[in-house]
Amino acid sequence: GAVVSQHPSWVICKSGTSVKIECRSLDFQATTMFWYRQFPKQSLMLMATSNEGSKATYEQGVEKDKFLINHASLTLSTLTVTSAHPEDSSFYICSARPGTAGNTEAFFGQGTRLTVV
Amino acid sequence: GNSVTQMEGPVTLSEEAFLTINCTYTATGYPSLFWYVQYPGEGLQLLLKATKADDKGSNKGFEATYRKETTSFHLEKGSVQVSDSAVYFCALSGTGGYNKLIFGAGTRLAVHP
């Protein structure tokens, strides 16, 4: 199947600093990518939909200025956690689909574990 | 809005036991339904899917049938193995709005020898 690569796989940062997470579709183009957050032993919470060449669409309750999303090309989306705080510590996962239809498989990155100290 | 409800875990079974993980959904229109699996320390992988009513998705001995009348997509396997130990997520994809995937809470399965 298609491959989605996420980097870094883990990061530790100091409170108040910003962290950038990259999500790349390696063998297909993705007009749309999705960013999720997963708390320990919980489900994936959709944070935002990243659209190539336009602004991201954020889910209710997700701070746009806190979680900056840039989808600069058809194979790359980035999530920047700005002014990180310990409560932002979590597992962040991106996904992408080769097509736009709802019945197509979504491929997931391996996730990024963020720890803010 | 669209939502998915899964049975709470953890589910603990002995090897070769029968597995059922219940999943029901709420959605407008005709969503596609998926089961994803997350093995320890790994990302999510598609296990199976069904895109219309009465479709049956199957893979690796797992099956699930899209039941529109009961808005359900229960996951079943006749004989589980230790290697099936993982977290299973039911998900749906809507018919509009970028077709984003909405996940259930996940069900952790532990299979013992």
Confidence (pLDDT) at B94: 72
**Longest alpha-carbon distance in chain A:** 41
At A99, the pLDDT band (50, 70, 90 cuts) reads low
Q: Considering chain A, what is the average pLDDT of its residues?
A: 90
Q: Is B45 on the interface with A (CB under 8 A)?
A: yes
Judge: B106–A97 Cβ closer than 8 Å, yes or no: no
Cα separation, B89 vs B101, whole angstroms? 11
Judge: B106–A51 Cβ closer than 8 Å, yes or no: no
**Closest residue on chain A to B96 (Cα):** A102
Confidence (pLDDT) at B100: 80
pLDDT score of A86 more than 60: yes
Q: Is B107 on the interface with A (CB under 8 A)?
A: no
E runs forming strands in chain B: 3-6, 11-14, 19-21, 23-26, 32-38, 44-50, 56-59, 62-65, 75-77, 86-93, 101-103, 107-112
Which of chain B's residues have a Cβ under 8 Å away from the Cβ of A9?
Answer: none
Confidence (pLDDT) at B30: 83
Q: Is A34 on the interface with B (CB under 8 A)?
A: yes
Confidence (pLDDT) at A32: 85
Structure-token pair, residue A13: 């940062």
Segment A39-57, tens digit of pLDDT: 877 788 999 998 888 889 9
How far is the CA of A25 from the CAs of A6, A46, A51, B108, in angstroms? 9, 19, 14, 28
Q: Exposed e or buried b for every residue in A31-41, given b needs 16+ CB within 10 A? A: bbbbbbbbeee
Confidence (pLDDT) at A92: 95
Per-block mean pLDDT, blocks of 10 residues, chain B (113 long): 88 97 91 92 88 94 96 97 96 73 92 96
Confidence (pLDDT) at B2: 83
**Closest residue on chain B to A91 (Cα):** B43
At A103, the pLDDT band (50, 70, 90 cuts) reads low
Confidence (pLDDT) at A97: 80
What count of CB pairs under 8 Å joins A to B?
Answer: 60
> Of A101 and B66, which is predicted with more confidence?
B66
Judge: B93–A109 Cβ closer than 8 Å, yes or no: no
pLDDT score of A13 more than 90: yes
pLDDT score of A1 more than 80: no
